[in-house]
Amino acid sequence: MKLIIIGGGFGGLRLARRLSNKKGISITLIDQFNHHQFQPLFYQVATAGLNASDISFPLRKVFHKSSNINFRMATVHSINETAKKVITDIGEFDYDRLIIATGAGTNFFGNAEIENYAIPMKSSIESLHLKERLLCNFEHALTSNDEETRQRHLNIIIVGGGPTGVELSGAIADMRHYTLPKDYPEIDFKRMNIYLLEGSPRLLSAMSEKSSADAQRYLEKLGVIVKTNALLKTYDGHTAFLANNELIESALCIWAAGIKGNIPQGIDASLIARGNRIKVDPYCKVLGSENMYAIGDIAYMEVAAYPHGHPQLASVAIQQADLLASNFTKEVKGKNGKKEFSYNDKGSMATVGRNLAVVDIPKPKLHFGGFFAWFIWMSLHLMLILGVKNKFFVFLNWLYSYFTHDQNLRLIFRIHENQATPTPNT
């Protein structure tokens, strides 16, 4: 069985690893990057807490001991289901089974002006760009002679009260309290405002009301200005215009309000559900297809417990990958008994700041908040990171930051236009 897996995220990587060295199966894993990115910690890269390399792992290294897996770094242009081909920028690939695990990107909901000026955070590159913009804003605030301009560079807007927005708000609030006053003693950081805008009535809407209330209380304790039922109408790079006619002056708007599936060309439009997700059956097979599957954020499966599709979480992608690995192995061996997908919700969590987090566990129904929840969050994320070296450096950075109240990665790298191609003597 010749498999092609598009995407080296949680789902695609998990599937490839589960089928590694399985007889009768050959795999080509395609991704536009040559590394797996641990998305839950992008916000720590953006706030100078971790190196981008600490949360990234080379995909080729993962499969050093795999005899049946090839990796190709390529951009997928389209899928030809009739010919069973994947067309990329480096050539065409034939398949017997195709697994689409392309994940999701930022959804600006068609607002071109917000897309032009707001900064998303869905990759390591975007996280590094956000870190540079964040730090450069403080440099501009330091040197500005105009009071209005200085305040605009001290105001930060974060749009979206999901886990990403909550975690990012808390991390920046910690920077304001512990780190920035030491870096910029000339600036009065009591005047720095962090706005978290959420369009629905509460934060962390996918979690329990208790977690939502705790998260908002923690953030407000950290000095974050939380605005629920607050819809951003537009943003021009200087001013945020809310639907209620409120204006917020800010030179930095971070967009964490929505995601949409990264669907390759060639998928029938009738199979695309809300949020740009591909409709699949209980076996994760694309509806109407004989040999095409979708897992993770890109997959839309309607079941009684999840009538609007499963939550777009790493745990869903991992469990769907496990299901496919089991079913493909049975198929190769000629065994019957393929299983349908049933999501085992083990809980959800979000960190809010230093010693602060919220955790929901459905069975038994439990809720944790504060330091104990923060410890659970930290331990779980550390276990999920690939590679012993990565785990070590992440833990070392966390340990250093915890005891010193400092993040040591506040570096700004910029190349001037006239130095873009340095000479050998430069």
CA distance 190 to 181: 10
CA distance 204 to 189: 27
pLDDT at 415 (0 to 100): 53
pLDDT at 424 (0 to 100): 41
pLDDT at 412 (0 to 100): 87
Global confidence as pTM: 0.91
Amino acid identity at 229? N
Say how many residues make up the chain.
426
Q: Is 331 a catalytic residue?
A: no
pLDDT at 426 (0 to 100): 37
Whole-number Cα distances in Å, 212 to 39, 40, 352, 379: 22, 19, 11, 22
Straight-line distance from the first to the last Cα atom of the chain, in angstroms, rounded to the nearest whole number: 53
CA distance 415 to 83: 46
pLDDT at 337 (0 to 100): 85
- Set out the domains of the chain in order of their start, with CATH numbers: 2-32+74-106+259-332 (3.50.50.60), 112-257 (3.50.50.100)
Q: Out of 92, 113, 115, 167, which one is annotated catalytic?
A: 167
Cis previous bond, 311, omega within 30:
no
CA distance 184 to 194: 17
Q: Do 47 and 173 touch, CB atoms closer than 8 A? A: no
Q: What is the 3-state secondary structure (H, E, C) of 82-118?
A: CCCEEEECCEEEECCEEEECCCEEECCCCCHHHHHHC
Sort strands 299-300 and 348-353 into parallel, antiparallel or unpaired. Answer: unpaired
pLDDT, tens digit only, all 426 positions of the chain: 999 999 999 999 999 999 999 999 999 999 999 999 999 999 999 999 999 999 999 999 999 999 999 999 999 999 999 999 999 999 999 999 999 999 999 999 999 999 999 999 999 999 999 999 999 999 999 999 999 999 999 999 999 999 999 999 999 999 999 999 999 999 999 999 999 999 999 999 999 999 999 999 999 999 999 999 999 999 999 999 999 999 999 999 999 998 999 999 999 999 999 999 999 999 999 999 999 999 999 999 999 999 999 999 999 999 999 999 999 999 999 998 899 999 999 999 999 999 999 999 998 889 999 999 999 999 999 999 988 999 999 999 999 999 988 877 888 887 554 444 444 443
